[in-house]
Amino acid sequence: MEDGTVERVRPRDRILETAQDMFHKHGIKGVGIDAITEAAGTNKMTLYRHFDSKDDLIIQCLRATACKAGAMWEKFEVQHPGNKLAQLHAWVRMAADCLTADGRGCDMANAAIELTDTDHPARRVIKELKEAQRDRLVTLCRDAGIGQAELLADTLSLLLEGARVSVQSVGTEGPSAQFVRMAEGLIVSFRGTAAG
C-alpha cells in the first residue's frame, strides 16, 4: 500500500516533537543530543540520519514551532470569519493565555538570545520567521481598520515580546499581568485616531 499515512509515528517526527519541547523548556544549550534521542525513544545515529547537525535540528524545530503558531491565525479566521477586529482581540487573548500558561517565552526570541554568534545559521531563520509574524499582525491591524496599522502592530509586538520575557524574570505577577489592559487600551486609542 503506497499511502504514506503510517500509524506509528516515525522516528524523525518523534525527534522533532521531542526536541521542540525540550528546547522550549530547557533552552537550546541546555539540552544535549543524547537527552533528546533518549526522550524520543530512539538513538543518536537515527537522529543524525535525519538531521545534518544540531544546528540543523534547531532550525527545523524553529520552523515547526512557527508552523504551529501559524495554525493559530487560521483559528482566528474560523472563529471570527471576516471580522478582523474580533480577530485582533482574539490575538490579544491568545497572547495573554501564552503568558499565564507557559512560563517560558517565545522560542525564536529565546534562541536569538542564546545563539549569540551573529553568523549562526539559525539567526537568519529567526529573523525571517519573526518578520513574517510581524507582517501578519500588521495586515490584521490594517484590515481591522486601524489607521496607523504598522505602529499599532509594532507596539503590540514589543509589548508581547517584553511580557514573555518579563514572565521569565519576575513571574506572572509582574508588569506582564497588565498586558491585556495595555493591549486593549492601545487598540481603543488607535481606533480613536483611525484614518483611511
Candidates 35-43, 64-72, 106-114, 134-142 — which segment interacts with DNA by CB under 7 A?
Answer: 35-43
Four-point Cα dihedral 73, 78, 83, 89, nearest 10: -50
> SS3 sequence, 145-163?
CCCCHHHHHHHHHHHHHHH
Binding mask 103-142 for its own copies (x = CB under 8 A): -xx--xxx-xxx-x---------xx--xx--x--------
d(CA 63, CA 180): 28
Contact set for its own copies, span 30-89 (CB under 8 A): 30
| Cβ neighbours of residue 145 closer than 8 Å, sequence gap 6 or more | 84, 85, 191, 194
20 touches DNA by CB under 7 A? no
180 touches DNA by CB under 7 A? no
Binding mask 42-61 for DNA (x = CB under 7 A): xxxxx-xxx--xxx------
Contact set for its own copies, span 146-165 (CB under 8 A): 150-151, 153-155, 157-163, 165
Q: Compute the least distance from the CB of residue 182 to DNA, in Å.
A: 38
Q: Among candidates 70, 136, 162, which has minimal Cα distance to 144? A: 136
**Cα 77-146-132 angle, rounded to 5 deg:** 55
Give the number of residues in contact with its own copies, rule: CB under 8 A: 45
Q: How far is CA 109 from its chain centroid?
A: 9
Contact set for DNA, span 55-94 (CB under 7 A): 55
Q: Compute the least distance from the CB of residue 150 to its own copies, in Å.
A: 8
